[in-house]
Amino acid sequence: MNIAPIISRLKAFALAWEHWWTRKTYPHVMGIVRIALGGWLLFYWGIRLPNVAKLYSSTGMTFPKIPTFMPENIQWILDVQEPNIVMMIFMVHLIALAALTVGFFTRTSAGLACILSWYLYYIGQHHFHTSYDRLYMFSLMFLALSNAGEVYSIEAWQKYGNPLRWGKLVSIFPQRMFAFQITMTYLGVGFQKLWLPGWQGGEMLYYSLIGVWGTPLAFKVTSYGWNPLYHVAVHMTILFECLIPFSFWIRRDYIRWVGMGSGLIFHVLVHALLYIWWFAVLIPAYIVFFTPEEVHAWLQKVSKGRIT
């Protein structure tokens, strides 16, 4: 039996797999993601600044959650601190996010912001247990692993004399991980609705619209009373969340654009009906599903060659 063709195909597959996951490429995608995500998180945490003492210090109703994987000898890290200490920690967090946004000590600031996000989550954020908290922390970790400060940053300005210039190619791996995390975020919230009892009918959606998250538009819609169409809306939501992330990866026949347009409409409707704005950052994050070569070519076209 001649196995040479099989070995040749396996080698070709391994090379293609390695190229897809780890090749060196243009830094522009992660530079844009850094600015968008850093600015978003700076706003997200900044609006909590007036209530830091109540949310995270010993003067508020603070009940930290100790992770089961955390050794007992270091659990003191999650002890509730005095307000002045908590404020200092929080200000360091905001400074790290600001530095990340402008691309100053990018990896260090992203790593520090990720660690402090983890700390603040277990101190006071875990009560409102949602997937966006984990999405934010994973995103910061991917930025810490990437060289997102290579372009559109103070680092680029210092090294090349212009924040629009760049000097070296970067690994595509953090971008792939970012895209994979977004995919799993959609799939996770979709698949769990398949078996959660509350999502087997339209009642959950109806009561959400008249609950604490409901907007004036939601109250107007629900004022017409119960309608079986709420069942249809729930099933459509589950179908969307389970299938739409796959479309982001398909470049043929504008499928990717259709998926992203559907995602935009979905999030706009969610924000119009519910005060759940934390996932809106996913919309600009769709850029990670485009290859760096595509984004670089588009930037050169719209800038008429001013972006190299």
Residue that terminates a domain, selected from 155, 172, 189: 172
pLDDT digit string, tens, across residues 270-291: 999 998 888 888 999 999 999 9
- pLDDT bracket for residue 1 (50, 70, 90): low
Rg (CA), the chain: 22
User: Does residue 201 sit in the same domain as residue 119?
Assistant: no
User: 169, 171, 143: which is closest to 22 by C-alpha?
Assistant: 171
The whole domain housing 107 covers 26-172
d(CA 208, CA 217): 13
Task: Return the residue matching tokens 């996932």.
Answer: 279
User: 277, 259, 255: which is closest to 267 by C-alpha?
Assistant: 277
C-alpha distances in Å from residue 82, one per residue of 52, 65, 86, 181, 308:
11, 17, 6, 35, 50
pLDDT at 266 (0 to 100) = 92
User: Does residue 168 sit in the same domain as residue 184?
Assistant: no
User: Does residue 221 sit in the same domain as residue 135?
Assistant: no
DSSP codes, 52-80: HHHHHBTTS-------TTS-GGGGGGGSP
Is residue 208 a part of any domain in this protein?
A: yes
User: Does residue 160 sit in the same domain as residue 200?
Assistant: no
pLDDT at 125 (0 to 100) = 72
Is residue 13 a part of any domain in this protein?
A: no
Domain count along the chain: 2
User: 122, 117, 139: which is closest to 281 by C-alpha?
Assistant: 139
Decide if pLDDT at 200 tops 90.
Answer: no
pLDDT at 102 (0 to 100) = 96
Tell me what the pLDDT averaged over the chain comes to.
89
Task: Summarize the confidence of residues 56-70 as an average pLDDT.
Answer: 79
Quick one: tokens of 100?
């990340």
3-state secondary structure (DSSP) of residue 294: helix
User: Does residue 149 sit in the same domain as residue 35?
Assistant: yes
Residue 26 C-beta-side C-alpha neighbours within 13 Å: 20
Q: Which residues pair with 170 in a beta bridge?
A: 25
- Ramachandran sector of residue 146 (left: φ over 0; alpha: ψ -120 to 50; beta: rest): beta
User: Does residue 41 sit in the same domain as residue 166?
Assistant: yes
pLDDT at 2 (0 to 100) = 67
Quick one: tokens of 279?
């996932």
Is residue 300 a part of any domain in this protein?
A: no
- pLDDT bracket for residue 212 (50, 70, 90): confident
Q: What is the pTM of this model?
A: 0.89
User: What contacts 103, CB < 8 A, 6 or more positions away?
Assistant: 31, 34, 35, 148, 149, 152, 153, 154, 155, 156, 163
pLDDT at 6 (0 to 100) = 80
Decide if pLDDT at 5 tops 80.
Answer: no
User: Does residue 56 sit in the same domain as residue 162?
Assistant: yes
pLDDT digit string, tens, across residues 24-48: 999 999 999 999 999 999 999 999 9
User: 17, 107, 87: which is closest to 45 by C-alpha?
Assistant: 87
3-state secondary structure (DSSP) of residue 102: helix
3-state secondary structure (DSSP) of residue 116: helix
Decide if pLDDT at 103 tops 80.
Answer: yes
User: Does residue 36 sit in the same domain as residue 161?
Assistant: yes
User: Does residue 199 sit in the same domain as residue 233?
Assistant: yes
pLDDT at 4 (0 to 100) = 72
Percent of residues in the chain assigned helix, strand, coil, to nearest 5: 70, 5, 25
User: Does residue 101 sit in the same domain as residue 125?
Assistant: yes
Say if residue 270 is exposed, middle or buried (CB neighbours under 10 Å; 0-12, 13-18, 19+): middle
User: Does residue 163 sit in the same domain as residue 228?
Assistant: no
